[in-house]
Amino acid sequence: MRFKRTIFLMGALFVSLAGSAQISSDSVFIRKIFDEALTNSHSYKNLEYLSNSIGGRLSGSPEAEKAVQWSKKLMESYGFDKVYLQEVMVPHWVRGAKEKANIQSGKTKIEVPICALGGSVSTGTKPLTASIIEVKTLDELKNLGRSKVQGKIVFFNRPMDPRQVLTFIAYSGAGDQRRQGAVEAAKLGAVGVVVRSLNLFQDDFPHTGSLRYDEAVTKIPAAAISTNGADKLSKMLKTDPNLKFSYEMHCETLPDVKSYNVIGELRGSEKPTEIIAVGGHLDSWDLADGSHDDGTGCMQSIEVLRLFKSLNYQPKRTIRAVMFMNEENGTRGGRKYAELAKNNKENHLAAIESDAGGFTPRGFGMEADPAKIKAIQKWKPLLASYGLHDIGPGHSGTDIEPLREVDKNAALIGFLPDSQRYFLYHHAANDTFDKVNKRELELGEASMAALVYLLDKYGLDGSK
Amino acid sequence: MRFKRTIFLMGALFVSLAGSAQISSDSVFIRKIFDEALTNSHSYKNLEYLSNSIGGRLSGSPEAEKAVQWSKKLMESYGFDKVYLQEVMVPHWVRGAKEKANIQSGKTKIEVPICALGGSVSTGTKPLTASIIEVKTLDELKNLGRSKVQGKIVFFNRPMDPRQVLTFIAYSGAGDQRRQGAVEAAKLGAVGVVVRSLNLFQDDFPHTGSLRYDEAVTKIPAAAISTNGADKLSKMLKTDPNLKFSYEMHCETLPDVKSYNVIGELRGSEKPTEIIAVGGHLDSWDLADGSHDDGTGCMQSIEVLRLFKSLNYQPKRTIRAVMFMNEENGTRGGRKYAELAKNNKENHLAAIESDAGGFTPRGFGMEADPAKIKAIQKWKPLLASYGLHDIGPGHSGTDIEPLREVDKNAALIGFLPDSQRYFLYHHAANDTFDKVNKRELELGEASMAALVYLLDKYGLDGSK
Q: What is the DSSP string of A399-416?
A: TTTTHHHH-TTPEEEEEE
**Neighboring chain A residues of B11 at a CB cutoff of 8 Å:** 169
Q: What is the DSSP letter of B410?
A: P
Asked whether the whole model's pTM tops 0.90, one would answer: yes
> Which carries the bigger pLDDT value, residue A61 or residue A463?
A61
Contact B60, B88 (CB under 8 A): no
Q: What's residue A461's pLDDT? A: 84
The pLDDT of residue B186 is above 70: yes
**Which residue among A1, A168, A385 sits closest to B294, beta carbon to beta carbon?**
A1
What mean pLDDT do residues A290-319 have?
98
The pLDDT of residue B7 is above 90: no
What mean pLDDT do residues A377-386 have?
96
**Neighboring chain A residues of B385 at a CB cutoff of 8 Å:** 165
How many Å lie between the alpha carbon of B31 and the closest alpha carbon of chain A? 9
Interatomic CA distance for residues B57 and B287, integer angstroms: 9
Residue of A48, A99, A265, A327 marked active site: A327
- For B423, nearest residue in chain A (alpha carbons): A1
Contact A19, A13 (CB under 8 A): no
The pLDDT of residue B461 is above 80: yes
Interatomic CA distance for residues B443 and A197, integer angstroms: 23
The pLDDT of residue A463 is above 50: no
Q: What's residue B457's pLDDT? A: 97
- Alpha-carbon Rg for chain A, nearest whole angstrom, is 24
Q: What's residue B23's pLDDT? A: 60
Q: Taking the CB of residue B24, how many other CB atoms lie within 10 A of it? A: 12
Contact B175, B207 (CB under 8 A): no
Q: What is the DSSP letter of B118?
A: B
Please name each of the domains of chain B with its CATH number. 9-92+255-458 (3.40.630.10), 96-250 (3.50.30.30)
- Kindly state whether A392 is in contact with chain B, defined as any CB-CB distance less than 8 angstroms: yes
Classify each residue of B401-413 as buried b or exposed e, where b means 16 or more C-beta atoms within 10 Å of its C-beta.
bbbbebbeebbbb
Range B38-42 contact pairs with CB under 8 angstroms and sequence separation of 24 or more: B38/A162, B38/A163, B38/A165, B38/B439, B38/B442, B38/B443, B38/B446, B39/A162, B39/A163, B40/B310, B41/B303, B41/B307, B41/B441, B41/B442, B41/B445, B42/B303, B42/B306
Q: Taking the CB of residue B6, how many other CB atoms lie within 10 A of it? A: 11
- Kindly state whether A32 is in contact with chain B, defined as any CB-CB distance less than 8 angstroms: no
Q: Tell me the pLDDT tens digit for each residue of B20-78.
A: 555 689 999 999 999 999 999 999 999 999 999 999 999 999 999 999 999 999 999 99
CB contact under 8 A, A163 and B3: no
pLDDT band at A1 (very low <50, low <70, confident <90, very high): low
Interatomic CA distance for residues B166 and A260, integer angstroms: 39
The pLDDT of residue A464 is above 50: no
- For B401, nearest residue in chain A (alpha carbons): A4
CB contact under 8 A, B385 and A13: no
Contact A450, A30 (CB under 8 A): yes
The pLDDT of residue A18 is above 70: no
Nearest 10 degrees: CA dihedral of A212, A216, A221, A223? -20
pLDDT band at A66 (very low <50, low <70, confident <90, very high): very high
The pLDDT of residue A10 is above 50: no
Contacts of A343 (CB under 8 A, 6+ apart): none
Query: What average pLDDT does chain A have?
Result: 95
Q: Tell me the pLDDT tens digit for each residue of A22-41.
A: 568 999 999 999 999 999 99
The type of residue at B240 is D
Interatomic CA distance for residues A364 and A362, integer angstroms: 7
Q: Tell whether the torsion through CA atoms of B387, B388, B389 and B394 is positive or negative.
A: positive
Q: What's residue B6's pLDDT? A: 43
Interatomic CA distance for residues B286 and B54, integer angstroms: 11
What mean pLDDT do residues A341-351 have?
97
Contacts of A445 (CB under 8 A, 6+ apart): A37, A41, A43, A299, A300, A301, A303, A304, A307
- Kindly state whether B15 is in contact with chain A, defined as any CB-CB distance less than 8 angstroms: no
Q: What is the DSSP letter of B60?
A: T
Q: What's residue A22's pLDDT? A: 59
Q: Tell whether the torsion through CA atoms of A138, A140, A143 and A147 is positive or negative.
A: negative
Closest CA to B447 of B378, B327, B377, B362: B362
How many Å lie between the alpha carbon of A47 and the closest alpha carbon of chain B? 16
**SS3 of chain A: helix, strand, coil, percent, to 5:** 40, 25, 35
Q: What's residue A3's pLDDT? A: 58
Q: What's residue B383's pLDDT? A: 97
Q: What's residue A2's pLDDT? A: 61
Q: What is the DSSP letter of A226?
A: -
- Kindly state whether B9 is in contact with chain A, defined as any CB-CB distance less than 8 angstroms: yes
**Neighboring chain B residues of A3 at a CB cutoff of 8 Å:** 168, 171-172, 175, 395, 398
Q: Tell whether the torsion through CA atoms of A87, A89, A93 and A94 is positive or negative.
A: positive
pLDDT band at B14 (very low <50, low <70, confident <90, very high): very low
Distance (Å) of CA B327 to CA A92, B61, B176, B294: 58, 14, 18, 10
**Neighboring chain B residues of A425 at a CB cutoff of 8 Å:** none
How many Å lie between the alpha carbon of A139 and the closest alpha carbon of chain B? 20
Q: What's residue B21's pLDDT? A: 57
- Class of residue A355 by CB neighbours under 10 A (exposed 0-12, middle 13-18, buried 19+): buried
Could you confirm whether A99 is annotated as catalytic? no
Interatomic CA distance for residues A186 and A33, integer angstroms: 53
The pLDDT of residue B287 is above 60: yes
Q: What's residue A21's pLDDT? A: 57
Give, in degrees to the nearest 5, the angle at Cα B304 between B41 and B70.
75
Q: What's residue B462's pLDDT? A: 61
Strand partners, A87: A260
What mean pLDDT do residues B331-355 have?
98
**Neighboring chain A residues of B362 at a CB cutoff of 8 Å:** 387
The pLDDT of residue A206 is above 90: yes
How many Å lie between the alpha carbon of A392 and the closest alpha carbon of chain B? 6
- Kindly state whether A430 is in contact with chain B, defined as any CB-CB distance less than 8 angstroms: no
- Class of residue B97 by CB neighbours under 10 A (exposed 0-12, middle 13-18, buried 19+): exposed
Q: What's residue A23's pLDDT? A: 61
A-B CB pairs within 8 A amount to 178
- Kindly state whether B398 is in contact with chain A, defined as any CB-CB distance less than 8 angstroms: yes
Contact A141, A124 (CB under 8 A): no
- For A362, nearest residue in chain B (alpha carbons): B387
CB contact under 8 A, B365 and A8: yes
Interatomic CA distance for residues A152 and A163, integer angstroms: 32
What mean pLDDT do residues B454-462 have?
92
pLDDT band at B11 (very low <50, low <70, confident <90, very high): very low
Interatomic CA distance for residues B364 and A420, integer angstroms: 19
- Class of residue A323 by CB neighbours under 10 A (exposed 0-12, middle 13-18, buried 19+): buried
What mean pLDDT do residues B380-403 have?
97
CB contact under 8 A, A7 and B394: yes
- Kindly state whether B165 is in contact with chain A, defined as any CB-CB distance less than 8 angstroms: yes
- For B171, nearest residue in chain A (alpha carbons): A3
Q: Tell me the pLDDT tens digit for each residue of A347-357.
A: 999 999 999 99
What mean pLDDT do residues B89-95 have?
98
How many Å lie between the alpha carbon of A384 and the closest alpha carbon of chain B? 9
Residue of B48, B63, B134, B327 marked active site: B327
Q: What's residue A13's pLDDT? A: 42
Q: Tell whether the torsion through CA atoms of B31, B37, B38 and B39 is positive or negative.
A: positive
Q: What's residue A120's pLDDT? A: 98
**Neighboring chain B residues of A172 at a CB cutoff of 8 Å:** 3, 5-6
Name the A residues in 226-285 with CB < 8 Å from any B CB. Answer: none
Interatomic CA distance for residues A306 and A174, integer angstroms: 38
- Kindly state whether B324 is in contact with chain A, defined as any CB-CB distance less than 8 angstroms: no
Q: Tell me the pLDDT tens digit for each residue of A251-286.
A: 999 999 999 999 999 999 999 999 999 999 999 999
Number of H helices, E strands in chain B: 15, 16
Q: What is the DSSP letter of A155?
A: E
